[in-house]
Amino acid sequence: MILQLVKADITEICVDAIVNAANTSLLGGGGVDGAIHRKGGKAILDDCIAIRNKQGGCKVGQAVITTAGNLPAKYVIHTVGPVWNGDKEEKNNLLKACYQNSLELAVQNNIKTIAFPGISTGIYRFPKDRAAEIAIKSVRDFYKISEIDKVIFVCFDEESYEIYTGLLERELL
């Protein structure tokens, strides 16, 4: 498995699946969620509504999959990150679950390349350094990681990019 780090807009990444930091309603929101729905078009929302009608949205830590509509990716995996409020242990575990359940869904759908944004690090206020550590560790620990060819961490801002760079460099020492 190749681990890659880029500073980019995730809606422009050409992979089998991009991950969306969604909310429990699956109806779209701000941040990366808004960008994905805006650029991906109505087909994504239609799939989300169908999932909502079947199972009533998506719980925190869980993931669902839809088309990627007009985006270059084939699929969008929507996962709902925890809102940070200082209740650390529980929130850490929920964020880890987001990464692992997204990867599980990827394996089930024969997805080989997947791109993650910094789930929960925007509107949900998770500390960026803690979230990046959890992201990298969750991917490394995923029990079926050999079935995925490439995982890309997509940073939208310079601060996140530097945090990931520091953590990945430390792994190499």
Catalytic residue among 33, 129, 141, 157: 33
d(CA 102, CA 114): 9
Among 61, 51, 10, 12, residue whose Cα is nearest residue 32: 10
Respond yes or no: is residue 33 known to be catalytic: yes
Contact window for ligand ADP (CB under 6 A) among 27-35, 61-69, 101-109, 162-170: 27-35
82 binds ligand ADP (CB under 6 A): no
Dig out the tokens for 8 from the structure. Answer: 């980019």
The nearest distance, CB 103 to ligand ADP, in angstroms, is: 17
Question: Please, which residue, 138 or 160, has the CB nearer to ligand ADP?
Answer: 160
Of positions 40, 57, 69, 118, contacts ligand ADP by CB under 6 A: 118
**How is 67-119 classified by DSSP, letter by letter?**
E-TTSSSSEEEEEEPPPPSS-HHHHHHHHHHHHHHHHHHHHHTT--EEEE--T
Count residues binding ligand ADP (CB under 6 A): 21
Is residue 96 a contact partner of residue 138, using CB atoms and an 8 Å limit?
Answer: yes
60 binds ligand ADP (CB under 6 A): no
Of positions 3, 43, 123, 145, contacts ligand ADP by CB under 6 A: 123
